[in-house]
Amino acid sequence: MMPNNIRYLYDADTGIELIFCDNSTISYPLHNHVSVFTIGMVLDGSILLTTNQSTKVYDKNQTFVILPYMPHSISTHDSYTLLSLCIDKSLIYKCTIDTVKNNIIHLVGDALDENRINQTQVIQLLNCLSMFTDMPTLTSGIDNPFIDGLKKQLELCPEDKFSVDEMAQNAFISKYHFIRSFKSEVGLTPHQFQVQNRIRKAQRLISEAETITEVALTTGFCDQSHFIRQFEKYVGLTPSAYKLSLGTFKHDAID
């Protein structure tokens, strides 16, 4: 088992990611998943999931769905085992649900082989996809065009040097009014949103990079120790442990 009992499996062809947290006690701070649908299943223990809509305890064999951009956090008082399936929204919109299911089955094959999850739980997980069938195309839902544009820029280029003061000046409003407006629209402060997207970019780069320092600098962190702390806060593993836990594979997506 990998350090901290977390395993990441990523399908480079479909963008589907499977995260398996086994006997974990890690809590995750407020964050959102940009452009990603997440289906979670508690395999053992329980977690407390807090979103902008509710706070709820999920116990063994219960599932939950988190929509793209929905702010949420996970906390726990005891150990838990959690399977999270992350699916890029573009895959949901361009493929049939059956196609997505087939690709997921390929991805969870290793977990089935290692008896980490049983067939009944896989079926339960796949049944959650049905709620996406008739879902309309998601929009940003942001009325302020400046904040919407800034959000997109922070998603694409989170490594760019944007201070909160500069963002507020560009919006012609005070710093504190800008922070409140951004959080009201996006669910996170500008700094939280930028840092989480830097960490996401680091996750994509880390398997190919020669050093952790290279990843830190590429994603906008001048201080490597600060990068490591933030990475572990959002991912649950240090960058080095994450690289060891990461399984990336490619295959021809099933039509």
Q: Where are the domains of the chain?
A: 3-138, 145-246
**pLDDT for 225 beyond 80:** yes
Closest CA to 197 of 207, 210, 188: 188
The model's confidence at residue 135, banded by pLDDT at 50, 70 and 90, is low
- Quick one: average pLDDT of 206-233? 93
Helix H or strand E segment including 175: helix 175-186
Per-residue pLDDT band for 155 (boundaries 50, 70, 90) equals very high
Q: φ, ψ for residue 215 (rounded to 5)?
A: -65, -45
Distance between CA atoms of residues 44 and 148, nearest Å = 39
- Fold match, 3-138 / 145-246: no
Model confidence, pTM: 0.82
Does pLDDT of 112 surpass 70?
A: no
Q: What is the secondary structure of 212-247 as a DSSP string?
A: HHHHHHHTT-S-HHHHHHHHHHHHSS-HHHHHHHEE
Identity of residue 161: K
- Whole-number Å distance between alpha carbons of 72 and 93: 23
User: First CA to last CA across the chain, in angstroms?
Assistant: 33
Instruction: Classify strands 80-88 and 28-31 as parallel, antiparallel or unpaired.
Output: unpaired
DSSP state of 137: P
Q: Which of 83, 94, 97 is nearest to 131 (CA)?
A: 97
Domain 3-138 has CATH 1.10.3720.10: no
Instruction: List phi, psi (to 5°) of 24.
Output: -95, 150
CA gyration radius for the chain? Answer: 18
Specify the CATH number of the domain 145-246: 1.10.10.60
User: What is the rounded average pLDDT for all residues in the chain?
Assistant: 85
Token pair 């223990």 in the structure block, residue: 45
Least trusted range by pLDDT, from 30-34, 91-95, 200-204: 91-95
pLDDT of 255 > 80? The answer is no
Residue 121 has pLDDT above 60, yes or no: yes
pLDDT in tens, 64-79: 999 888 999 999 989 9
pLDDT band at 254 (very low <50, low <70, confident <90, very high): very low
What is the token pair recorded at 131? 């709620």
Question: Which DSSP symbol is given to 130?
Answer: G
Please give the DSSP secondary-structure letter assigned to residue 154: H
Which band of pLDDT confidence, cut at 50, 70 and 90, is reported for residue 216?
A: very high
Order across the sheet with 6-11: list the strands.
Answer: 63-66, 36-44, 80-88, 17-24, 6-11, 246-249
